[in-house]
Chain A
Amino acid sequence: MSGGVISWIAGRRNTMLARLVSLFTVAASLVVVILFCFRQDFHSGKEWIIEYSASWIPEYGIGMHLALDGLSLLMLILTFLIGVLAILVSWNEIGENIGFFHFNILWILSGITGVFLSMDLFLFYFFWEMMLIPMYFLIGIWGHENRIYASYKFFIFTQASGLLMFLAILGLYLVHGSSSGTYTFDYQQLLGTTMSPPLEFLLMTGFLVAFLVKLPAFPFHSWLPDAHTEAPTAGSLILAALMLKTGAYGILRFAVPLFPHASVSFAPAGMVLGIAGILYGAKLAFAQTDLKRLVAYTSVSHMGFVLTGIYAFNELAGQGVVMQMIAHGISTGALFILVGQLYERLHTHDLNRMGGLWEKMPAMGAMGLLFSMASLGLPGLANFIAEFLTLAGIFKSSILFASLASLGLVAATLYSLRIVQKVFFGRKTSAITARDLTVRESLVLGIMVIAIVFAGLFPQPILDTTKQVIVKTIHVKEQTGYGYH
Chain B
Amino acid sequence: MATTDFLFLFPIMVIAGAPVMMMLIIVLVRNLKVIYTSSLVMLGIALLSLFTIVPQTTHQIGSLLIIDRYGIMFLGIIFFTSMLVTVLSYEYLCKHYGEREEYFIILFVAVLGASILVIANHFVTFFLGLETLSISLYVLIAYLRSRDQCIEAGVKFLVIASLATAFLLFGMGLIYAGTGTMSFLDMAQSMAKGKPLSVLLLAGYGLIFTGVGFKLALVPFHMWAPDVYQGAPAPVTAFIATISKGAVLALALRLFANHQGHHPDTIRIVISGISILSMFTGNLLALGQTSVKRLLAYSSIAHLGYLLITLLAGTNEGIEAAIFYILVYSLNTIGAFGAISVLSEQIRDADNITDFEGLFWHNPLIAILLTLSFLSLAGIPLTAGFMSKFYLVLAGVRSGLWLLAFSLIINSAISLYYYLRVIKTMFTPTDTVKAIRLTPLTGMVLIVITFSILLLGIFPSIVTGP
Binding site for B on A (CB under 8 A): 56-60, 96-97, 125-126, 129-130, 132-133, 136-137, 140-141, 148, 151-152, 155-156, 159-160, 163-164, 166-167, 170-171, 174
Contact = CB atoms under 8 A, between A and B. Distances in A.
B461 interface: yes
27 contacts: A56-B459, A57-B461, A97-B361, A126-B382, A129-B381, A129-B386, A132-B380, A133-B380, A136-B420, A140-B424, A140-B427, A151-B424, A152-B417, A152-B420, A155-B416, A156-B417, A159-B412, A159-B416, A160-B410, A160-B413, A163-B413, A167-B393, A167-B405, A167-B409, A170-B397, A171-B397, A174-B398
A96 B263 CA distance: 58
A121 to B, nearest CB: 12
Contact of B424 (A96, A129, A132, A148): A148
Contact of B382 (A57, A130, A151, A152): A130
A156 B397 contact: no
A470 B406 CA distance: 34
Contacts of A148: 424
B53 to A, nearest CB: 25
Contacts of B393: 166-167, 170
Interface string B375-394: 10000111000100000011
B181 to A, nearest CB: 36
B464 A59 contact: yes
B465 interface: yes
Contacts of B406: 167
A129 B420 CA distance: 15
A156 B413 contact: yes
B178 interface: no
Nearest to A170: B397
A457 to B, nearest CB: 41
Contacts, number: 60
Given A58-B461, A170-B393, A174-B397, A163 B381 contact: no
Interface string B436-466: 0000000000000000000000011100110
B409 A125 contact: no
Nearest to B460: A57
Contacts of B412: 159, 163
Contacts of A164: 409
A93 B409 CA distance: 38
A143 to B, nearest CB: 12
Q: Most chain-A Cβ atoms within 10 A of its Cβ — which of B375, B381, B409, B417? A: B381
A198 to B, nearest CB: 14
A148 B459 CA distance: 33
Contacts of A130: 381-382
Question: What is the interface of chain B mostly: helix, strand, loop, or mixed?
Answer: helix
A152 B427 CA distance: 14
Contacts of B427: 137, 140-141
Nearest to B413: A160
Given A57-B461, A59-B464, 15 more contacts: A56-B459, A59-B461, A59-B465, A97-B361, A130-B381, A133-B375, A151-B424, A155-B416, A159-B412, A159-B416, A163-B409, A164-B409, A166-B409, A167-B406, A170-B393
Contacts of B420: 136, 152, 155
A129 B380 contact: yes
A137 B427 CA distance: 9
Contacts of B464: 57, 59
A57 B427 CA distance: 34
Contacts of A141: 427
Nearest to A141: B427
B409 A159 contact: no
Nearest to A96: B429
A163 B397 CA distance: 14
B345 to A, nearest CB: 28
Interface of B: 361, 375, 380-382, 386, 393-394, 397-398, 405-406, 409-410, 412-413, 416-417, 420, 424, 427, 429, 459-461, 464-465
Contacts of A159: 412-413, 416
Nearest to A128: B381
A125 B381 CA distance: 8
Given A148-B424, A174-B398, A156 B416 contact: yes
A126 to B, nearest CB: 5
A159 B416 CA distance: 9
B156 to A, nearest CB: 34
A58 B410 CA distance: 28
A56 B459 CA distance: 7
A141 B417 CA distance: 16
Contacts of B460: 57
A155 B419 CA distance: 12
Contacts of A58: 461
B123 to A, nearest CB: 35
A271 to B, nearest CB: 29
A190 to B, nearest CB: 16
Nearest to A125: B381
A136 B421 CA distance: 12
A174 B394 CA distance: 9
A126 B381 CA distance: 6
A90 to B, nearest CB: 17
A144 B368 CA distance: 24
Nearest to B361: A97
A140 B427 CA distance: 9
A164 B406 CA distance: 8
Contacts of A132: 380
Contacts of A97: 361
A126 B389 CA distance: 13
A102 to B, nearest CB: 16
Contacts of B461: 56-59
A148 B427 CA distance: 11
Contacts of B417: 152, 156
Nearest to B379: A163
A148 B394 CA distance: 34
Nearest to A178: B398
Contacts of A174: 397-398
The 8 closest A-B pairs by CB, nearest first: A160-B413, A129-B381, A163-B409, A126-B381, A57-B461, A170-B397, A141-B427, A167-B409
A110 to B, nearest CB: 11
Q: Most chain-B Cβ atoms within 10 A of its Cβ — which of A148, A155, A156, A163? A: A163
Contacts of B361: 97
A310 B380 CA distance: 31
A170 B460 CA distance: 18
Contacts of B380: 129, 132-133
Given A133-B380, A141-B427, A170 B413 contact: no
Nearest to A55: B461
Contacts of B386: 129
B306 to A, nearest CB: 13
Nearest to B464: A59
Contacts of A59: 461, 464-465
A132 B381 CA distance: 10
A56 to B, nearest CB: 8
A140 B425 CA distance: 10
A25 B117 CA distance: 56
A454 to B, nearest CB: 37
Nearest to B405: A167
B394 A60 contact: yes
A156 B412 CA distance: 10
B454 to A, nearest CB: 11
